[in-house]
Structure 1
C-alpha cells in the first residue's frame, strides 16, 4: 500500500497544473511545501488520513477517525503526536475547537487526558463561521490566538466540500491552500478523497494539516 502511495504522490504532483513557483517545492529551502492528502488510514481496520510529501515520504497520519469525535490527534509518520484538537463543549450550534501542542511517543499514549488538556493553554481556537445573512459565504472558519484572544490570526475561505480553500493571515496573504485534483492520467481519476495541501514558507505544515482535519469535521 505504501508503494502505491508513493506512486500516487508522484503522479499527483506531476499532473497538478500549478504556478512554476509551486513545483518541486521544499519548505526547508524557503519554498512552498506541497503535500498529498489521502482521506484513508494506513491501518486497514481504521478510518483516517495519510499525508505524504512529493518524494513519497509519510509525514502525517490520523487513525481511528470515525464520526465526530470530541478529540483528534495528528501524528507524524512515526506515530508521535504533533497536535491535539479538542472540541469545545458549549451550548451553541457553532462548531469550535481548541488546538494544543501534542506529546507522547506512540498512538496509545500520545493523547493527553481531559484534565491535562484543561491545564494547558491552547495555541489556537478554530471556530466555524455561520452567517445567517450570508454576508460573506466564502468564509469557512476563523482562527484566533489562544482561547481568549479576540484577534483573528487566520481566516479560512473557499469550499472544503469542493477541496478548494485558502488560509489567509491578517494581511490577507495566502499561507496555505487546499487544491482538488481534477485531472486524470492513464484512466485513473482522483476524487475528493485525494487532494493537494500547499503550505507557504513560514507557516507550520502540521497546523495546516490540523486545519484540514477540522474543516473535515465542520463540513463533511
Structure 2
C-alpha cells in the first residue's frame, strides 16, 4: 500500500520496516521565495519532513526532506545511541553543524558549531515550568556559560514542540506528520517541521538534532 502526501513522499510497508522515499533526491536549488545569499533562508514559511532513520544500512540517524520531496539534510555517521559526536550534513556530506556531548556538573548538554563560528548549546531547563504538562529546554548562544547570553527556548507540550526566540516569537514547530488524504499519522518516527520566514533552517535543524539526542530519540 502506498500513501501519498503533498510533499511527495510515500510510505510502503515492507515486511516489518516502514520505508519513506522522496520522489526526487536532489539538492535544494535556489529559486523564487529564497534568499540567494543563503540556501537555508526563505522569505516564506517552509515545511520539512523529518524521518528519524538513516538511509544508510545499519546506521542510526535521520533524513530530512523539503516541501518538494528533495533530500536536504541527513545524519547517518554514527552507529550507536550512546555516541558523543554527530554531524548534521547536507545531501552530499558537507558538515553543516558538528554536535558534541558535554558535561557540566550534574547534567549533560549538547554543543553545536559550524564553520562560520556559530556556537549553540542545548540543555534541559531546570526552572519550574508553569504548565505541568510541558517542559522546556534552553538554547544558549556563544562559547561561554553565562545564563544572560542571547538564547532560544524549546517548549515540549505532549506530541508537539516549538522553538522560540528570546522574546517568545515562534521560530519553528515540530509535530508528528499526518497524511493529507485521511488524517492518519505516519508513525512516531515521521515528523513535520514548520519553519517561519527569515529563519535559518539549518540552524533550526541543528537544534532539533541536539534536542533529539538529549531525549535519546536518535
The answer to whether TM tops 0.5 is: yes
Within the candidate set 127, 151, 154, 1:153 is matched to 151
Partner of 1:53: 66
Report the 3-state secondary structure (helix = DSSP H, G, I; strand = E; otherwise coil) of the residue aligned with 2:8.
helix
Partner of 2:97: 83
Partner of 1:40: 53
Report the 3-state secondary structure (helix = DSSP H, G, I; strand = E; otherwise coil) of the residue aligned with 1:215.
helix
Report the alpha carbon displacement of residue 83 of structure 1 after superposing the two structures with TM: 0.2
Q: Residues 118-158 of structure 1: CA distance to partner in whole angstroms, max 9, x if unpaired? A: xxx76112211234x55455342111111214224211102
Structure 1: state its 5+ residue gaps: 13-24, 104-120
2:171 corresponds to 1:175: yes
Q: Distance in 1 between matches of 2:188 and 2:84?
A: 24
Aligned residue pairs total 184
Partner of 1:116: none
Please provide the CA RMSD for this pair: 3.0
Q: Residues 37-77 of structure 1: CA distance to partner in whole angstroms, max 9, x if unpaired? A: 00111111212100011111110000025213111110001
Within the candidate set 84, 92, 96, 1:70 is matched to 84
Q: Distance in 1 between matches of 2:177 and 2:61?
A: 19
2:180 corresponds to 1:166: no
**TM-score, structure 1 as length reference:** 0.71
**TM-score, structure 2 as length reference:** 0.72
Larger relative helix fraction: 1
Partner of 1:15: none
Larger relative strand fraction: 2
